[in-house]
Chain A
Amino acid sequence: MSRGAPIKVSGLVASGKVAARDGEDQRKPLVSARPADAPSVVELPTRPDSSQETKPGAPSTPAHGPVAASPAEARADVRKIPVAEIVDSPYQPRLKYDPEEIDRLAETMDTAAHADPIKVRMVNGKYELISGHRRIRAARSLGWTEIDAYVEELTDREARAKTLLLAVGSVGLADFEFALMFETAIKEGLCKTQREVASYFGQSTQKVSGCLDMLKLPAKIVRMLETKPDLFGYQTGTVIKKLCADYPDKLADIERGVQRLMEGAAQNSLKSWVLQAIKGQAERDGSEPNLITNGRRLIFTTKISADKRSVVVNCKVPDLDIAAFEKHLQAWLETQAKEVSSSAADENGGGTP
C-alpha cells in the first residue's frame, strides 16, 4: 500500500477504478435520505439523479423546481444523433488516437452493437463530445451515420470538468496528456493545489507533480511530446528534469537523447546514454597527451586535464628512479614559483609521476 494521501471513495469513482453501476439491484434507501449537501458522504459524479445536472430550460425538465430524474428517466434521454454533426471537445486531453485501438473498438461495436451511448452537449447547433472520442472515431470508420447519445445541457465549465473526469478512466492516456489535463484543472480553478488535483482525479500526488513537471521541460522536448504524447512517462520526465538541472549547458545532448526515444530507444536507456554523451565530450575537451620519447622508447606522457589547471605526468619506464625525478621536478617548480611571484605568470602545474 502506498503511504500517500488517504484513499477517497469519490476519488476512486472519479478515476473509474470503482464504477457505480446502474444495475437492477439499485435500491432506494429505506430510510429518509440525508440532505444533499452533507459534505462527508460520497456523491456520484456520473449519476444523473441530482438536480444540479439538469439545467432549467432543458427540454426534458420543467423550467423551475428541483426535479430529480430517476436513472430510468435519464435513460430515456438517449437518442440517435447524426455522426456528421458531432465535433470533438476542446477540453479533451487526449492528443493522439491509436488507429489500431480504434479498429479494435470498431470491431466490437460492429459485432456487439453499440452498448454504451456517448455523451454530448449542444454548442452552436453542433453536438460537442463530452465522452466517446474513441467511439465516435470507430463509428466513423464503420461508416455509421447515426449514433446513440445522451444529450446533456452543460455550461462550459461543467463540460470541461466532466470531460476531464471521464477521460481519466479512459484507455491508455499518456502521462503528457495527464499533465495537460492537470494543468487545465489548476488553471480553470477546479483544483487549487497539486494534492487536490491528485484526489480529484484519483491519481497519486507523485504522479501529479511528475506530470506537471513534464510541462516545464525545455521547449524542444515539450514539442516532441506534443507530436508524440507517449514518448516517455513522468518518471523518465523526472530523470530528464534532473539531467537538465545537473548539466544546464548540455541541453543539446539531452535533446539528442530524447530524440533517440523518438526513434524507438528504450526509456530506461536515456540517462546512461546522455551521461555517456556528456562524459565523452568532457574527455575530448582535455588535450591529447604529449608523448616524450628518447628517440626509441616512450618515457613520459603529459596531459593537461579538462579544468586546464593541472598537468598529469605519467612515467612509462618501470626502471626509472621516480624519487629522483620528483626531486628534480620539485626544484624546477620552485624556480617556477619564484618567477610567478615576480612576473605573475598564470601557469602553474601539479605533477604526479
Chain B
Amino acid sequence: MSARPFGVKARLAQELCGFTGSPKAFREKYNVADKGQYHRIYTAEDIRRIRMSMLSLSEDSSREKTVPPILNFRMAKGGTGKTTICGNVASALAMMGHKVLMIDGDPQASLTGLFGIDWVSESITHIGDLMNRNEKKEKDFVDVKAAIWPIYSGGMLDIIPADITLADTDSWLMGATNREFVFSRLLKRYVDVFAQYDVILIDSAPSTSLLTNTLMTACKTLLAVVVPEGPSTKALEILDSNVHELNSAFADAGLNLDYHVIVNRYNQTKKPHNDALSKLVSTYPNQINDTIVRDFIGFVRQNDAFDEKNNGPVLEKEPNSVGARDVLDLTKSLIRMYDIKLADVNSLAPLASVGRAA
C-alpha cells in the first residue's frame, strides 16, 4: 500500500513548525525550489525538515536506541473515542514533525480502518502475531518491519494494523510465561526498529483482557478517553481498579502505572455533561487534561459510509475545524506531558502558543 498524500497549507504549517515570524518570512525561508512559494502543501516530511533546520540539526539525525515514549489509549468502555483521538493525535504528532508508529491493539481494527486499510481483504500481520513469534524464540528473525504499513511517506506515520484474528491472542497468552510483559519483551528485542520512531501510539481494545494488560504494562501513563456521561465515568472506575490491580500485582517488578483522563465529546449546553464533568474534576483532580475535545460532527464524518478508502482523521479531512483545533491543542499538551522529542532533541517549538492563551 502506498502512503497517503496529505499536507497542510502554509498557515497551519507555520503553527505546526512553531515558526513565530511573518508568513512571508516562512514562505521564503522554507520554500522548496520545485514547488513554488504559494499554494504549496507542506507534508509531514516537509515539516520535519523545516523543524530540524530551525533547530539546526542535520536531516539524518536520529534517536538513540531506546524505546520511545508510548501513548496507550485505553478505556474500559467502547465508543468513548479512543480510536478517534488516537488516530488524530497520531496524525497531529506526525504533522508536527515527529516520526510516529501506531499499533492497533483492538481486534475490531477500527484504527486500521480509520486510515483506509481494508483489513478484511488485506493480508495483515498484527501485533499479536509478532508477539507470538517472538515468544516462540524461533531462531528465525521476526520481521517486524514487514508488519509495518506506511501511512505518511518518509516513515512519518506508520501503523502495525490489526484484524479480527487479534482476538485469538488471549488463547496463547494464557500459557505464556510472564504474559503481562510479552509486549515489553518484543519492544526490547527489536528496539532498533522501534527506536527510529519518536513516539508510539497504541489503540487498545475496551475489554479487560490479557492482550490489553500486556499492552498496558509497557507504558507509564495510560490515556483514558472519557465521555462526560454516566456509563463512561463508571467505566473509568473500572479502569482505575484494573490499574490498581496490575500495580499491586507487579509492585516488585517496579510497575507504577498511572492514567490521565481526556474528556471527549463534551457539549457545553448539556447540563448532564457539566454535572458529569464536575464529578470528574472532583474525583480525579490533577489527572484531567485541561483541553477538552468538544462534540463535533466531523469526527463522525471520518468514516466514509460508502468507500472505506476515503476514511481519514478529522485533521486530514477538516484541518481548520473545531475538532482539529481541539486535537492540536490536546497533542501539544501530550507532547509536554510525555516529553516527546524530535530526534531526541527536546524542542518546545510547537508549544510556543500553548498555555492558557492557546
Contact = CB atoms under 8 A, between A and B. Distances in A.
Interface of A: 1, 3, 5-10, 12-13, 17-23, 25-27, 29-34, 36, 38-44, 47, 191-193, 195-196, 199-200
A177 B233 CA distance: 37
23 contacts: A3-B322, A8-B291, A8-B292, A9-B263, A9-B281, A9-B291, A12-B274, A12-B277, A17-B274, A18-B278, A21-B278, A25-B282, A29-B286, A31-B259, A32-B258, A39-B336, A41-B260, A41-B286, A41-B287, A42-B281, A42-B286, A42-B289, A193-B357
A40 B336 contact: yes
Nearest to A47: B285
Contacts of B278: 18-21
Given A22-B282, A38-B286, A9 B322 contact: no
B37 interface: no
Nearest to B263: A9
B181 interface: no
A27 B283 contact: yes
Contacts of A13: 281
Contacts of A31: 243-244, 247, 256-259
A83 to B, nearest CB: 31
Contacts of A34: 258, 286-287
A18 B286 contact: no
Nearest to A195: B357
Interface string B325-343: 1100100011011000000
B30 interface: no
Contact of A6 (B279, B285, B326): B326
Contacts of A43: 285-286
Interface in B238-269: 240, 243-244, 247, 256-260, 263, 266-268
Contact of B277 (A18, A195, A199): A18
Interface string B344-358: 000000000001111
B290 interface: yes
B290 A1 contact: no
B141 interface: no
Contacts of B283: 25-27
Interface of B: 240, 243-244, 247, 256-260, 263, 266-268, 274, 277-279, 281-292, 294-296, 322, 325-326, 329, 333-334, 336-337, 355-358
Contacts of B286: 29, 33-34, 36, 38, 41-43
B131 to A, nearest CB: 26
B92 to A, nearest CB: 14
A41 B281 CA distance: 11
A29 B292 contact: no
A31 B224 CA distance: 15
Nearest to B244: A30
Contact of B240 (A20, A30, A32, A36): A30
Contact of B267 (A1, A3, A5, A8): A1
B357 A7 contact: no
Given A6-B358, A34-B258, 11 more contacts: A6-B294, A8-B290, A9-B281, A13-B281, A18-B274, A22-B282, A38-B286, A40-B289, A42-B289, A43-B286, A195-B357
Contacts of A22: 282
Contacts of A17: 268, 274
A30 to B, nearest CB: 5
Chain B CB count within 10 A is highest, among A6, A196, A199, A200, for: A6
Contacts of A196: 356-357
B274 A29 contact: no
Nearest to B337: A40
A72 to B, nearest CB: 15
Nearest to A26: B282
B146 to A, nearest CB: 37
B355 to A, nearest CB: 8
A19 B329 CA distance: 23
A91 to B, nearest CB: 20
B326 A44 contact: no
Contacts of B282: 20-23, 25-26
Contacts of B281: 9, 13, 18, 20, 42, 44
Contacts of A41: 260, 286-290
